[in-house]
Amino acid sequence: MIEWNEIYANPRVRYAAKVTGCGAAACLLATVQLNGMSVPLNTALAAAVSPACGAAVLAGSALSYALTGLLQKQPALLCAVAVTAVLRWILGTQSSPRTAAMLAAGSTMLSAVIFALAGLINGSGWIPWICGSVLAGTLGWCIRQVLARCEGGLPVRLHEADRLPFSACYVFCIAALCSVRLLSVGFGEILAAFVTLTAAKRYRSGGGILCGTLSALALMLADTGTAGYAAMLPVAGYAAGIAAGHASGFVYLIFQAICAVGLILSQQSIGISGAWVGGMIGGLIFLFLPAQQLADAVLQWSDSEADLAALTAARMEFLSHSIAGVRGAAEQIAGMMQKNTETVDPADKVCESVCSKCRSRALCWESGDDETRRCFRKLSQAAPAAKLTAPFHCVQPDQVAAEFARTKRQNLSARALTARLRESQKLLFSQMQITEELLQRAGQHPKKTYHRELTRYVSDMLDRFQVPVRAAAVSTGENQRMLIELYADQNAELDPELIAEYLSDALQKPLAYSGSETAGDERRILLQSAGGFSVTTAAAQCAVHEDEPCGDCWDTFTDSDGAFYLAVSDGMGSGRHAALDAKIVLSDFRQLVQSGMDCKEAARMINALMMTKSGDERFATLDVAKICTDTASVTLYKYGAGPTFIRHGGRVTLYQAVSNPIGILPDAEPYTTDMKLERGDMLVLLTDGLDDKLFPYIRQTMQQGGDLQAMTHAVCAKVQRSAKGAPPDDVTVLAAAISAAVIDD
């Protein structure tokens, strides 16, 4: 099977496609006449493209003129294209919108001067050429702007400043296509109806009336005889936008009914009838093609606050670097202070405080006998709890023994305080580093496009349904999946499933409730359109003691990007305390991930919190499987967790590695691995209370497949039978199966 994306990724293929496309466009534009007048559209196109594409425009124009017999009638227009192509080669590959405008206008006027000197243009004949040069310059500027925006690939993200160039190019594109006719139906009228209906369905009344107005202008520019029909297009687009919440067939009928009014009120002619039939064909294409998906794949509007977002990102990055500088300076100072800290030698301390004041100092230390020094070294190296005895000839044995004991106690306390200080410093620096990463992540440009019209429409629908929501936001990500965020009071009575059903009907797009979380007194509800895959789960547990809760916890949830998570945590030991530790780890992990934090960053923050929880040794494992519902790719994160079995392509593989649980060491690094799954594959996450002897049974059970819930209960039952009713540790089995997403129409 040919991978077209890989072929088009070849620079030579893209270059050839651009040149060929420019030549084909020139063949079309060369014969375009707007209300019987020839316009220098090819000159504007040649000024806005690269030199090679400009040469293709010249070749296409000459070929079109030669085949249609217009070469003798339009030599000045062909001359303008030729002058433009030559100047493009001279100026080089770089072309700004201003340069393109000046080149198109100047070449058109220069061609007029050449033919005026030849006596072919005089008197009132200059007026069309002056207007044509202005038009060519304006179109050259607009085309260059549009091409520059399109060079980033699809979808093209538009800003407020792009309205004029894209609108102008759309108008002249529709007007040009109106000259390409099949019987009496023009392709421009077909495209105008399709675009107006698509904009009305996607961007509601605002998109409908805007595209309807531009389409009407294009049709009248091509043929003023269609003015009656064209005048109703803005009204039809506005009405279609109001009815956009209904089925596409109903929107199409509303649009065609209003256009029919324009047909009735107009003077009957072949052009008017052809325009209405073209609108009918464009509407039928709208019904049978995924118009909204095509709109999102081609064009996306970016908010005008992009500059503010860039400024916010720069400020957050600056703040992150500032915190990093403070942390680096603090670590450097702490390291220097630790190097300068010297441990006090008990022997020197005792000699200074006791022996220096003793009258027998000369006898003990200056007589040349090393017995005192050897005895002091033994006393200095003795354990703090050992019984200390001064040298036999010492005249102050009690004072020496007491001073040795006191100095050792001081050294022991100082070492404990130093170790505690170092641990606190390391924890503080770790928390500062997490803060830096969070600021950097928050400052990154979001890979989402927020839709103002859809957000306004969703807010209106929620008001109509009397849903007590503070705010709503509609966005689409790189995967083109729609995300709706709803913010409400924590105590508000909301049924997320019912809200998803309401909005699915209103938007004509299947939505599913993907989770909610609370922060303070505010609640956030997430609704998402379906991805390419769905995940079904089942779980079973068995505790060590039947009268105590299981010390393991499990959870499943989704994040704001549509990824699905399986999470299992095993607290130290069993019973209530273990269950509490596991619950803390899982609940905090879910809240941080759903707020937009990366899995590793969330685990590092939870690890820092668990380290400061109490003086007791309490920890919990964390086992996470992150499943992308668009591609079915899976990433495993294991923090001291038990094994994970994955069935892929009929083969069951065990994933297990040594790593530290959450809450033991300041640096919690997981074992991670990535893999790509397919429809029908299966995952099973297990806690470490399972005996290795049961692994063959689990493999066999997964190979057989069947109901997930029955499988998880069968594994737990097998554990209890093997342990004769009392397993040595709590056991949790969390299973998931990958299947193709089912989208209800």
DSSP string, 262-318: HHHHSPP-HHHHHHHHHHHHHHHHHHHTTHHHHHHHHEEEPPTTHHHHHHHHHHHHH
Residue spans of alpha helices (H) in 341-464:
346-353, 361-365, 371-381, 397-443, 452-464
Instruction: Give the closest residue to 637 by CA, choosing from 585, 587, 566.
Output: 566
* Residues forming beta bridges with residue 527, ordered by sequence position: 484, 513
The confidence score (pLDDT) of residue 444 equals 57
* 9-to-23, 153, 244, 612 alpha-carbon distances in Å: 21, 11, 37, 52
- For the cut 60, the answer to whether the pLDDT of residue 469 exceeds it is yes
Q: Helices 371-381 and 397-443, interaxial angle, to 10°? A: 40
The 3-state DSSP class for residue 450 equals strand
Final residue belonging to a domain, choices 486, 513, 529: 529
- Determine, yes or no, domain membership for 94: yes
The confidence score (pLDDT) of residue 392 equals 59
Show the tokens assigned to 631.
């591609």
- Determine, yes or no, domain membership for 308: no
Q: Write out pLDDT tens, residues 118-150.
A: 776 666 667 777 887 888 888 888 888 888 777
Question: Which is more confidently placed, 274 or 267?
Answer: 274
The arithmetic mean of pLDDT across residues 144-162, rounded, is 74
The helix or strand, by DSSP H or E, that contains position 189, with its residue range, turns out to be helix 187-222
Specify whether 477 is located in the same domain as 510: yes
The confidence score (pLDDT) of residue 443 equals 57
The confidence score (pLDDT) of residue 624 equals 93
* 354-to-342, 401, 600 alpha-carbon distances in Å: 21, 10, 57
Residue spans of alpha helices (H) in 575-707:
576-594, 599-611, 695-704
- For the cut 80, the answer to whether the pLDDT of residue 612 exceeds it is no
- C-alpha 25/C-alpha 389 separation (Å) is 105
- Determine, yes or no, domain membership for 67: yes
Specify whether 342 is located in the same domain as 197: no
The arithmetic mean of pLDDT across residues 362-372, rounded, is 63
- C-alpha 511/C-alpha 504 separation (Å) is 5
The helix or strand, by DSSP H or E, that contains position 672, with its residue range, turns out to be strand 671-676
- For the cut 50, the answer to whether the pLDDT of residue 167 exceeds it is yes
Instruction: Give the closest residue to 156 by CA, choosing from 44, 357, 295.
Output: 295
The confidence score (pLDDT) of residue 635 equals 93
The confidence score (pLDDT) of residue 745 equals 43
Determine which of 32-36, 308-312, 372-376 has the lowest per-residue pLDDT on average: 308-312
Q: Are strands 564-570 and 622-627 parallel, antiparallel or unpaired?
A: antiparallel
- C-alpha 655/C-alpha 673 separation (Å) is 9
The confidence score (pLDDT) of residue 625 equals 93
The confidence score (pLDDT) of residue 685 equals 92
Determine which of 147-156, 215-224, 568-577, 648-657 has the lowest per-residue pLDDT on average: 147-156
CATH of the domain at 606: 3.60.40.10
- C-alpha 60/C-alpha 67 separation (Å) is 11
Question: Which is more confidently placed, 486 or 364?
Answer: 486
Specify whether 70 is located in the same domain as 102: yes
* Residues forming beta bridges with residue 301, ordered by sequence position: 158
Between CA 199 and CA 217, with CA 263 as vertex, the angle to 5 degrees is: 45
The arithmetic mean of pLDDT across residues 525-549, rounded, is 82
Show the tokens assigned to 504.
């699915």
Q: Which residue carries 């495993």 as its tokens?
A: 636
Sign of CA dihedral 478, 161, 190, 246: positive
Specify whether 623 is located in the same domain as 658: yes
* 309-to-178, 305, 314, 445, 471 alpha-carbon distances in Å: 41, 6, 9, 7, 20
The confidence score (pLDDT) of residue 87 equals 83
- C-alpha 496/C-alpha 421 separation (Å) is 49
The arithmetic mean of pLDDT across residues 641-660, rounded, is 88
The arithmetic mean of pLDDT across residues 344-364, rounded, is 70
Question: Which is more confidently placed, 523 or 33?
Answer: 523
Specify whether 548 is located in the same domain as 516: no
The arithmetic mean of pLDDT across residues 74-101, rounded, is 78
- For the cut 70, the answer to whether the pLDDT of residue 422 exceeds it is no
The arithmetic mean of pLDDT across residues 314-328, rounded, is 59
- Determine, yes or no, domain membership for 173: no
Final residue belonging to a domain, choices 302, 335, 357: 302
pLDDT band, very low/low/confident/very high, at 375 (cuts 50, 70, 90): confident
- For the cut 70, the answer to whether the pLDDT of residue 1 exceeds it is no
Specify whether 128 is located in the same domain as 112: yes
Specify whether 547 is located in the same domain as 686: yes
The one-letter amino acid code at 654 reads L
Specify whether 541 is located in the same domain as 624: yes
Within 13 Å and on the Cβ side, how many CA atoms surround 257? 9
Average pLDDT of the chain to the nearest whole number: 77
Specify whether 148 is located in the same domain as 294: no
Question: Which is more confidently placed, 370 or 259?
Answer: 259
Specify whether 91 is located in the same domain as 148: yes
- C-alpha 572/C-alpha 550 separation (Å) is 11
Instruction: Give percent of the chain with pLDDT exceeding 70.
Output: 76
- Determine, yes or no, domain membership for 745: no
Instruction: Give the closest residue to 302 by CA, choosing from 410, 426, 152, 420.
Output: 152
- Determine, yes or no, domain membership for 612: yes
Show the tokens assigned to 278.
């073209």
The one-letter amino acid code at 459 reads S
The confidence score (pLDDT) of residue 726 equals 65
The arithmetic mean of pLDDT across residues 616-637, rounded, is 85
Specify whether 569 is located in the same domain as 708: yes
- For the cut 90, the answer to whether the pLDDT of residue 626 exceeds it is yes
* 395-to-400, 408, 440 alpha-carbon distances in Å: 9, 22, 69
Sheet with 644-648: strands ordered across: 533-542, 731-740, 682-686, 644-648, 651-655
pLDDT band, very low/low/confident/very high, at 34 (cuts 50, 70, 90): confident
Q: Give residues with Cβ within 8 angstroms of 591, minimum separation 6.
A: 517, 519
Specify whether 697 is located in the same domain as 731: yes
- C-alpha 489/C-alpha 22 separation (Å) is 56
The confidence score (pLDDT) of residue 565 equals 92
Sign of CA dihedral 111, 112, 116, 118: positive
Q: b/e string for 348-364 if b means 16 or more Cβ within 10 A?
A: ebbbeebbeebeeeeeb
- C-alpha 704/C-alpha 702 separation (Å) is 5
The confidence score (pLDDT) of residue 42 equals 79
Determine which of 43-47, 115-119, 126-130, 333-337 has the lowest per-residue pLDDT on average: 333-337
Range of the domain at 516: 449-529
Final residue belonging to a domain, choices 476, 496, 529: 529
The confidence score (pLDDT) of residue 634 equals 93
Q: Write out pLDDT tens, residues 691-726.
A: 778 888 888 888 888 888 999 888 888 887 877 766
- Determine, yes or no, domain membership for 167: no
The confidence score (pLDDT) of residue 457 equals 80
The confidence score (pLDDT) of residue 264 equals 77
The arithmetic mean of pLDDT across residues 217-237, rounded, is 81
- Determine, yes or no, domain membership for 169: no
Between CA 307 and CA 310, with CA 308 as vertex, the angle to 5 degrees is: 65
Q: In total, how many domains does the chain have?
A: 5
- For the cut 80, the answer to whether the pLDDT of residue 425 exceeds it is no
pLDDT band, very low/low/confident/very high, at 307 (cuts 50, 70, 90): very low
